[in-house]
Amino acid sequence: MSFAELGLSPEILRAVDELGYSEATPIQAKAIPLVLSGRDLLAAAQTGTGKTAAFLLPILERLKKFANPSVSPAMHPVRALILSPTRELADQIGVNAKAYTKHLPLRSTTIYGGVNMDPQTAELRRGIEIVIATPGRLLDHIQQKTIQLNKVDVLVLDEADRMLDMGFIQDIRKIMSLLPKQRQTLLFSATFAPEIKRLAADFMHDPQTVEVARQNSTNAQVEQLVYAVDSGRKRALLSHLIREREMSQVIVFCKTKISADQLSRDLKRDGHAAEAIHGDKAQSARLETLNSFKSGEVKVLVATDVAARGLDISELPFVVNYEMPNSPEDYVHRIGRTGRAGASGVAISLMSPDEVKQHEAIEKLTRQTLPPQTVSGFERRESSAADSGFGSRNAGRERSDARPAREPRAERSERPERSERPERSERPERSERAPRDNPHRDSSRQREQRDPQEGLKVARAGVIGGRVLPQRQREVPALLLPPRYKVNQER
């Protein structure tokens, strides 16, 4: 279906045509007519199918009647609010909004944390119809009263499941309470969890549901490969695959910021143009790294899951899961960075013996069988297979059998017979033994013989290990002491 058949205005169609869009994707063909009708919408589609245009284009069509070239801020109140879980995704939506409004006098801006608020405040005071924001920074502007939301007609929750995973539910509820009750609410997500449906029941009115693919399914255009490897050889295997497959552009996902930084440094030492991107990086540094990756200066982008839902790289050929995600839903979003807009891609996962459970959870969620493979020269070691998931159940038993036997104890005949031991009569008497030379270890009885009074002191003080402990004076409570001064009481 073409965009002209969806009822969009010529200004929007012109901008879409200049971007090279000809046919609408399935999610766009189903969602755009429903959004134009004013109904609440609960839409699910796999990553990379054009969800951003599915809600932005009909929103622009609805706001077209408010478009005006006036310079007065009062003529440009906030009429559409789009909430995003990450800065990268918010920035991506902002870029698309600028492109779609090229021939319309509608203003849009993006506000997120990690950067100075002053430029954002100045732009908001100038008047903005479309605001794309992360929940935390939006609440900062609300607290400083630099934004008003009483004119919002459309609210979009993009990647709502990710916002719930990141703990934004309370922020979302605060923002919802400040919006007009008469509004249109659109919820877009790649996955539908039970929490998402409860959220829709709380904030949406009789929403229409659109699903263009089975929930939690992966893109059929993406080839998925799983390589079994020891955890200590993952980095060497990754470097080998980058060279063997000639990966000119690849995103490598890690679970933590520390591991992302470490892997980036290791790949640089191996001769690869690699950089890391994660939440601890300043926003300016993250944007600079992302632009270098898009331009080809950086070929390997090592990222955490914060970047899994916001990186829109056209025709990205490879994605590598260096560390298997704890949540199988994150796997769907990670590999969704490749194979976008109908292109093909390859998703490679490196699985160590302690990541077998994560692999099984991914197979269960996606309802696919992803058999582990091995790369020549990087096969699993026997010890690793015996320690955990890959080996057989009898591996532990075989390892125990391989232990060297203990040396036999000395035979009883080698021990001295009881008859050969010296008799008690032959042993020297205690009195004949040489006295100890340490004068400090004198017994209390010897001290008593020298001085009876000294023995009495020892008995009172106590002796521990031959050491005399001084007797501690007993403290008398102050209430029992006689008063220092006599007070004459008058009768």
C-alpha radius of gyration, the chain, whole number: 38
Q: For residue 347, what are the contacts with CB-CB under 8 A and spacing of at least 6?
A: 222, 223, 224, 225, 318, 319, 320, 321, 334, 335, 338
Q: Give the integer Cα–Cα distance in Å for 193 and 177.
A: 23
Q: Report if residue 197 sits inside a domain.
A: yes
Residue type, 314: S
More confident residue, 469 or 172: 172
For residue 415, what pLDDT band results from cuts at 50, 70 and 90? Answer: very low
CATH number at residue 273: 3.40.50.300
Q: Report if residue 460 sits inside a domain.
A: no
Between the alpha carbon of residue 129 and those of residues 37, 59, 68, 107, 159, the distances in Å are 20, 11, 11, 5, 22
Neighbours of 209 (CB within 10 A): 13
Q: Give the integer Cα–Cα distance in Å for 109 and 67.
A: 15
* 9 lies in the same domain as 79: yes
Q: Report if residue 403 sits inside a domain.
A: no
Domain boundary among 359, 389, 419: 389
* 65 lies in the same domain as 134: yes
* 230 lies in the same domain as 154: no
Cβ atoms 147, 118 nearer than 8 A: no
Farthest CA pair distance, the chain = 121
Please check the confidence at residue 323 and state whether its pLDDT lies above 50: yes
* 254 lies in the same domain as 188: no
Q: Report if residue 429 sits inside a domain.
A: no
Q: Report if residue 147 sits inside a domain.
A: yes
Task: Reduce the DSSP state of residue 357 to 3 states and report it.
Answer: helix
* 104 lies in the same domain as 29: yes
For range 386-397, the mean pLDDT: 42
Q: Report if residue 94 sits inside a domain.
A: yes
Q: Report if residue 485 sits inside a domain.
A: no
Cβ atoms 390, 356 nearer than 8 A: yes
Task: Reduce the DSSP state of residue 151 to 3 states and report it.
Answer: coil
Q: For residue 453, what are the contacts with CB-CB under 8 A and spacing of at least 6?
A: none
Please check the confidence at residue 239 and state whether its pLDDT lies above 50: yes
DSSP E strands in 136-219: the ranges are 154-158, 184-189, 208-211
Residue-level pLDDT at 86: 85
Closest Cα partner for 90 from 120, 70, 46, 58? 120
- Which residues span the domain enclosing 250? 222-389
Residue-level pLDDT at 424: 46
Domain boundary among 389, 408, 436: 389
* 250 lies in the same domain as 160: no
Percent of the chain beyond pLDDT 70?
73
* 181 lies in the same domain as 318: no
Do strands 108-111 and 154-158 pair parallel, antiparallel, or not at all (unpaired)?
unpaired
The two tokens of residue 368 are 């696919």
Neighbours of 149 (CB within 10 A): 19
Please check the confidence at residue 186 and state whether its pLDDT lies above 80: yes
* 204 lies in the same domain as 226: no
Cβ atoms 228, 374 nearer than 8 A: yes
* 149 lies in the same domain as 66: yes
DSSP E strands in 66-203: the ranges are 80-83, 108-111, 130-133, 154-158, 184-189
Q: Give the integer Cα–Cα distance in Å for 57 and 36.
A: 9
Residue-level pLDDT at 402: 41
Residue-level pLDDT at 96: 92
Burial tier of 410 (Cβ tally within 10 Å: 0-12, 13-18, 19+): exposed
* 278 lies in the same domain as 363: yes
For range 325-344, the mean pLDDT: 79
Q: Give the integer Cα–Cα distance in Å for 255 and 261.
A: 11
pLDDT digits (tens, 9 = 90+) for 430-443: 444 444 444 444 44
- Give the range among 228-232, 281-285, 298-302, 389-393 with minimum mean pLDDT: 389-393
The two tokens of residue 129 are 């119809």
Residue-level pLDDT at 367: 85
Neighbours of 120 (CB within 10 A): 22
For residue 121, what pLDDT band results from cuts at 50, 70 and 90? Answer: very high
Residue-level pLDDT at 307: 59
* 373 lies in the same domain as 332: yes
- Give the range among 59-73, 335-349, 449-463 with minimum mean pLDDT: 449-463
Model-level pTM?
Answer: 0.64
* 147 lies in the same domain as 254: no
| N-term to C-term CA, the chain | 112
Residue-level pLDDT at 197: 78
Please check the confidence at residue 325 and state whether its pLDDT lies above 70: yes
For range 123-142, the mean pLDDT: 95
Looking at residue 185, the DSSP 8-state letter turns out to be E
Residue-level pLDDT at 396: 40
Domain boundary among 152, 186, 211: 211
Residue 276: what are its φ and ψ, rounded to 5°? -105, 150
Q: Give the integer Cα–Cα distance in Å for 285 and 308.
A: 17
Q: Report if residue 402 sits inside a domain.
A: no
* Count of domains observed in the chain: 2
